[in-house]
Structure 1
């Protein structure tokens, strides 16, 4: 009786093995939330199954069933299946358990662990020589690298998986590989290739009735059509993906489709802002319910930007904090370093394996040659020739070993450089957070400072009016001229320092702003002349006795150059103001009686027909070389406290390099000159 029951269970599990998507889908993040009845049936069957290969396969199946809804359960069932398969020496079960565990760790956002078990699964599959398992391991690793935005190894693994699927005519594996290749090409912004592979995969999804692959490919096709400027088709595929994925709670597809719709609504204009935020919240909810960190990260980033656009800083900050926490959990520096280390180790293993195979082939060739020559009559000649061949082979192997050693050393150096750059990456993250914090503080302080300055100006005017009346009446109501004069001076100081604080805050806001303006063809000669004149007049207002020789050397043949006019005026005004400050400082430091004439020169000229240069030269105090290397860093200034914020040149650098695709350089010699050079594309 027990034998009959056990046999029936075995047949049932084998049927599940053949029909279930767990073993007919790649380990490529294709979660499927099956009905509760299916899970209950599997759990009841598991409770009456002895510890044999059938139980190992049931544990693998249960691991797959929980991938979308509970990645931690997937990991737990996979570990149980792996332990049992290892005890039974069930090598195929070991391989499937590792592939399932790869999916669980990836969905939970633990990429280093996912990569480690995925590579182990590939090695076991290669040892078994099972082409289907090898193809699925390739596909799983390709999808994992895609999620980490590492496109090159992703495409390499996915095309290997596609080739295996075509060789063994496995349609289930082929449709997953095609869709994943389309995902990678979308990541590379190669939209035509992405659409080609996604359409092929989607057609196979419908033929094979592969729901998980269908909803994922439909959502990604919506993303492609959205980028191609076809919102109607994009909305069609988003709605289809959501309608098909929602009953089965396919988390990754729901996140992708809802977020795609949110971006379409955002692009449609402010009248659809509420719809965009609603769709973004639906994407975030799906990611949180399915424990899918990547979906939570992308949805929270979108919502933070959407609320910031609506000037709701509280909501924007809340979602920004969620995004930062999720990003730190998934893409922390330590985890990325582990992934890089595993990748380097795998490359070394593959290289060593290829070398061993080459050496074994060479040994086989040598043995064959010896055996073939042994029966020949001219034995001495054959021995001599064999010795020469050995020497040549050894020489080649030594050269190859030297190349391998050099490659291994380079890879180890690369790993050391990765670890060394971790501190730099952490510093950049701190600076990015400081920029966001600075922008928020500056925005909140701007209005109170404006009120302080305005009321100080009004109070100054009232004091002047009172002082005029006082002169006419000699003394009125006990207020004397000395008291009024002191009050006026204090109010002027309040206004002056309020203006200074507003200027600092304005620089902070300019430095933290993002997004380029509209370029327009501009006469750079006129722009440079205007900036030099305005800067000189402004400096003379604050320093009435200051005089300087101004020189303009403009290229008369210079055509109009497309630039953001307001930004380029800001850059030139800043550089000219710094030049006047430098020559003024040198003039004040010169000994009495020494002849010195402050001079500032601005010039434009073409370099090679492709670029145009703007130079601002002064004969001021100059800078040492160690200072020149730091002048473009945020908050670095050589001016005394209270006279500079350290944001001017950093802002200029961002405008020229990031907004215009140009370069900004500086040459200086202490006590002699300073020259800033702007180079812009001349198109």
Structure 2
């Protein structure tokens, strides 16, 4: 069995299992019928009848029109204008589906006028969509698109997604009939997406059928069959679109070279159109069957279906109905033109009244304007003089601004150079201490190298002897290995000192790393002291440390924090040296470095018993370029940079406590966790 035969069998089984009208499951129409049985004759009953007519429109056009007439009669009796409007629309749709196009158009236009009087834009959009469908049924696809796009615009303005669900598919179907398949595919897919979102079974069945038609015309029969099959599965309670699906399947069968299957589906399409009283579907199916039998040279059958097609066409498009439709179209255009003329006249009258009112108000204003003109001429001269003065002042201000910008640029460049100079100055302070620190590991390297050379000579002599002492050789080799390990250790220590010096001289700031603050503080205390001793070998000071052994490791930029410590320690040594040079009896210079934990912070305190700081100086201590040292001995940036490194770079604090003549304490507080 080939692929096409499998499709025919599958769709045939679906058609055979199709439930008859009496066997369909309960729908929303059944629920509305039950509610109508007990509903009183009030406006609520009108709404129930119009809703039932809507539900039956695509299932039983005759019953839909009957319910709409009942709603219209009751709405007239109750003077319920909104109900009349809905009833006109539902009755128009029902008559359209049953083939009475002129009456349908007349009723729909009446509904449109009531909706416009009620200023109900959403209902007007519904009428536009219904009028578009009416033109589609009459094969007038260009006018249909005009109505559809009006409905789309109003639907988007009123956020009526239920209406947009129908409109998008209708636009796609009209484009398909015009042969514009790309546009048709675009709108049909958008409509199908809204069908699923809004759970609109009627629109979903219609859009699937139209997508099948487009796929067939694009030469994709397999995809077209899938669309038709999904449409049939979803059309359990939607009868209006069954016949078009069968005609689509018939055309696929004919194109595939299966004329018998084509006749089978075409006859099912005709039967569906006749069963559900849809003359448009009967016309399409009978014309198709007439052509199919003519191709088979079955003249009798072709003539029979041609006669049915002609009779149906006359019922739909008779000359009288055509004239009636043209008359209605002309009347509607005339009404719209009159409405537009009335709106234009009303706008013109409004403009005329506004102009008259403006003229009446303008009389006193003209007098005032005359007096104002005289004053204006006098003030214009003064204004010109003022403008000239302002222009000249602006030019002077612009010149001053340019000069200030140039000065600011120069100051920023100078500031950058000074900051780097400060860093290099602190590097100079380190140099002497580093020289002392690096000398010790270098001495160890030299000593162990000499000893290792002597051991290697001794080992060579031992190996040259005829009677070698293996134990002695092993002992010599062990000693050489130990010496090499010590050489490597002290070499790495010297390299670390040099690396730290290079990092200190860099302009950029490294990333934070966990650091042992006790070790860092002790290292920079020794470096600062040795640096000062290198300058003045006569200087002696007592160094005290009070390190908290339980101090936690802290995430810091070690080089930046070292720069701060070096700056504070150099200031402390400078203060005690100044006090020592004053010749005070019994004075002993002392610098103390302390670490401790204070709550969620760690604190490093640099204390000295030097000259101390006055309150006036302490207020300016952290300002850039402020210094109390003699010219040439300080840039005034050390404490300013230190303050920025601690507060901005590490989210900490830097404070000072001092008593003039007693000494000073600088306290650095850092958070234990990284902010």
Larger Rg: 2
